[in-house]
Chains A and B, each alone.
Chain A
Amino acid sequence: MLGEGILKGMAETARNFAGSFVSKERLTTVEYPEERITPAENARVFPFLVYDSADWEAGMRCVACQICEKECPPKCIYIEKSKDKKPDAVGKPQFYPTRFDIDISVCMSCQICVEVCPFEAIKMDTEFELATDDRFGGLLLDRKQLAKSNQYYHRIHPTEAAEVDARLAEEKAKSDAKAKVAADAAAVKAAASAAQAANSAATQEGTGD
């Protein structure tokens, strides 16, 4: 019969229409500003800089090595390296960025800066409501706007942040152990040289006799 196929198709839409009143699963959209879907844990929007201690400037993990600036495909990162070194969160003297800008109107959220960073300093944010009325200054984020605490990182990407913390702790333990070994060796050496000095002094005394 002509028109049977059309009726069959219409029955399908009618089933979905009626079904949407009873089954919540058939309603696939949400009313956005009032209702929100929580973003996926891996979701990424734009990069931010992680800092460790309470003060964002002192605790910044970034050491201005400029690898991300070089590897960024659309070249949206601009870094100025400091002339002096300041102690970082662990207390090791490091360079720091006197300027760290990301132009998020150029950034394409590819995450390559995160992959190449050897210091776990730059990570991806999930904040997407960044609309502004100033298309130049408003979309050029400086280091103060980019700095977010490690706690914030833990809140948005819990699994990833835990892995990163474990890795950093391991590295720190390793470097501590190395420093301890070095210190021990230095102490032994110092003791040995002191002993030798005493010894030679004693010999000298002996010859003097």
Chain B
Amino acid sequence: MTTSALLREKMEEGWNRPPVISPDGEGELLEVAMGPHHPSTHGVFRMDVALDGERVIRLKPVFGYLHRNHEKIAEGVSYLASMPYTDRLDYICSLTNNWAYALAVEKLVGQEVPERAEYLRVILGELTRVQNHASSIGFLIQEMGASGTPLMYAFKEREKILDLFEGLTGSRMMCNYMRFGGCRVDASPAWLDAVRKVVDELPGFADEFERLLCSNEILMARCQGVGILRPELAVNAGVTGPMLRASGVNYDIRKVDGYGIYNRFNFRVPLGDHWDVFDRFMVRLLEMRESIAILNQALKEVPGGPVMDPKAKIRGFRPKPGEAYGRIEAPKGELGFYLISDGGPNPYRYRVRPPSLINLTVLEDMCLGSNVADIVLIFGSVDIVLGEVDR
């Protein structure tokens, strides 16, 4: 059968489908395709929604519009060559993606990371978390209808952090900075001073953001009690990150695994009480504060020394046969890379465990019974990047 004939058949199948009857048997449900180009998705993502009046009866997420074959490409190129591709997964937090991949490869070959590189990684990872949470809150509020103001406040701060990234790594978003066994270039004292200056101003930004938003009645009315995610369901569905913590589950991989040097720092893990959209918003705001605390501690004690393991190889990198899973607490949740090596120059199997995709699987459970307008809000509170969902 030719493609066009197949397409025609599929289309006719769609036209001739029997109508969906509402659960009480009285009327027909309205089926709405939200997306693939819905403004709230910040990418291409479709939600097949069945509505009874304003109420959501069914919601089917449809992924895959942005599929770029990341995993298969990585299996065909050298280990180093997939590092720049990891930047393009979650393009808002490229540095944490680099970190997770570098961690997986370091586990695979048993490489040590110098002290200074570990500190630089923590500093960059926490800066990434601050800018991700700030912009994700901004996007959430924008989806609520506050067209741009909070988002621009968040982006103003993000701009300063991106300037720091550019100063160190050469690129604002596609940093491609971390390497197996360290970091690519060393940070100059001037750069560290610039970071200190920005970090000193961050609490002021957090205060301003809180004054702007936290007591806003409209925001509370829209967010509180909406999109409840029960802790049992969150755990069973494998939800991680701020979403899980907003559901009251105390699980932060920085605490649980203590990867890198995170067990040296004092920080608290904010938890939600009501499991709704407002809690997810608040957990992100509070996590920004904790990230600032970690940054202050890390910046005090950056040691000297090299940033690369002297034994690390750039070319001709061939790990011994084996497998490894490296995971970190990315701003959106648990980001893991699973690698199998057969001793060749490229991985035999390369798998990404993306937090965005797995957090998105509970979307229907959160949306059932709420209004159409709340779908956008609940979707925004999940905090996804489609680059990571579809890979």
Which stretch from B161-169, B244-252, B381-389 is at the chain A interface? B161-169
Q: Does A164 contact B (CB under 8 A)?
A: no
Q: Does B171 contact A (CB under 8 A)?
A: yes
Q: Mark A90-122, 1 if CB is under 8 A from B, else 0.
A: 000000000000000000111110011000000
Q: Does A204 contact B (CB under 8 A)?
A: no
B157's nearest neighbour on chain A, judged by CB, is A28
A10's nearest neighbour on chain B, judged by CB, is B212
Across the interface, which residues of B come within 8 angstroms of A208, CB to CB? none
**A109, B174: Cα distance in complex, Å:** 9
Which residues B51-82 have CB closer than 8 A to chain A? 77-78, 80-82
**A22, B174: Cα distance in complex, Å:** 35
Interface size on B, residues (CB 8 A): 35
B171 touches A109 (CB 8 A): yes
Q: Does A3 contact B (CB under 8 A)?
A: yes
Q: Mark B206-224, 1 if CB is under 8 A from A, else 0.
A: 0010011111111110000
B216 touches A71 (CB 8 A): no
Across the interface, which residues of A come within 8 angstroms of B171, CB to CB? 43-44, 109
Q: Does B156 contact A (CB under 8 A)?
A: yes
A40 touches B82 (CB 8 A): no
A111 touches B176 (CB 8 A): yes
Across the interface, which residues of B come within 8 angstroms of A116, CB to CB? 314-315
Q: Does A73 contact B (CB under 8 A)?
A: yes
Task: Report the minimum CB–CB distance from B127 to chain A (whole Å).
Answer: 15
Q: Does B85 contact A (CB under 8 A)?
A: yes
A40 touches B167 (CB 8 A): yes
B216 touches A5 (CB 8 A): yes
Which residues B338-381 have CB closer than 8 A to chain A? none
A28 touches B166 (CB 8 A): no
B184 touches A115 (CB 8 A): yes
Q: Does A4 contact B (CB under 8 A)?
A: yes
Given contacts A5-B215, A13-B212, A44-B170, contact A67 B315 (CB under 8 A): yes
Identify B84's interface contact among A2, A8, A41, A110, CB under 8 A: A110
A2 touches B217 (CB 8 A): yes
Across the interface, which residues of B come within 8 angstroms of A8, CB to CB? 211, 215-216
- Which of B78, B159, B217 has the largest count of A CB atoms less than 10 A from its CB? B217
Across the interface, which residues of A come within 8 angstroms of B170, CB to CB? 40, 42-44, 111, 124
B212 touches A9 (CB 8 A): yes
Which residues B138-190 have CB closer than 8 A to chain A? 149, 156, 159, 163, 166-171, 174, 176, 184-185
**A179, B217: Cα distance in complex, Å:** 80
B213's nearest neighbour on chain A, judged by CB, is A9
Across the interface, which residues of B come within 8 angstroms of A3, CB to CB? 217
The total of Cβ contacts below 8 Å across the A-B interface reads: 77
What is the predominant secondary structure among interface residues of chain B facing chain A?
Answer: helix
Task: Report the minimum CB–CB distance from A203 to chain B (whole Å).
Answer: 55
Across the interface, which residues of B come within 8 angstroms of A12, CB to CB? 208, 211-212
Task: Report the minimum CB–CB distance from B249 to chain A (whole Å).
Answer: 29
Which residues A74-100 have CB closer than 8 A to chain B? none
Task: Report the minimum CB–CB distance from B144 to chain A (whole Å).
Answer: 13
Across the interface, which residues of A come within 8 angstroms of B83, CB to CB? 110, 112
**A116, B83: Cα distance in complex, Å:** 14
**A95, B159: Cα distance in complex, Å:** 45
Task: Report the minimum CB–CB distance from B1 to chain A (whole Å).
Answer: 35
Given contacts A9-B212, A110-B174, contact A42 B217 (CB under 8 A): no
Q: Does A6 contact B (CB under 8 A)?
A: yes
A28 touches B159 (CB 8 A): yes
Task: Report the minimum CB–CB distance from A118 to chain B (whole Å).
Answer: 9
Q: Mark B76-106, 1 if CB is under 8 A from A, else 0.
A: 0110111111000000000000000000000
**A67, B174: Cα distance in complex, Å:** 23
A67's nearest neighbour on chain B, judged by CB, is B315
Across the interface, which residues of A come within 8 angstroms of B166, CB to CB? 39-40, 42-43
A71 touches B81 (CB 8 A): yes
**A109, B217: Cα distance in complex, Å:** 46
A13 touches B149 (CB 8 A): yes
**A6, B216: Cα distance in complex, Å:** 5
B214's nearest neighbour on chain A, judged by CB, is A5
Task: Report the minimum CB–CB distance from B350 to chain A (whole Å).
Answer: 14
Task: Report the minimum CB–CB distance from B123 to chain A (whole Å).
Answer: 16
**A39, B170: Cα distance in complex, Å:** 10
* Interface contacts beyond A71-B81, A109-B174: sample of 9 additional A-B pairs, CB < 8 Å, sorted by A: A5-B214, A5-B215, A5-B220, A8-B216, A42-B166, A43-B166, A71-B78, A73-B82, A112-B84
Q: Residues of B with Cβ closer than 8 Å to A?
A: 77-78, 80-85, 149, 156, 159, 163, 166-171, 174, 176, 184-185, 208, 211-220, 314-315
Query: What are 17 A-B pairs with beta-carbon distances under 8 A?
Result: A5-B214, A6-B216, A8-B211, A8-B215, A11-B211, A12-B212, A13-B149, A40-B167, A42-B166, A43-B166, A43-B170, A108-B174, A109-B171, A110-B84, A111-B176, A112-B84, A124-B170
Q: Residues of A with Cβ closer than 8 Å to B?
A: 2-6, 8-9, 11-13, 28, 39-44, 67, 71-73, 108-112, 115-116, 124
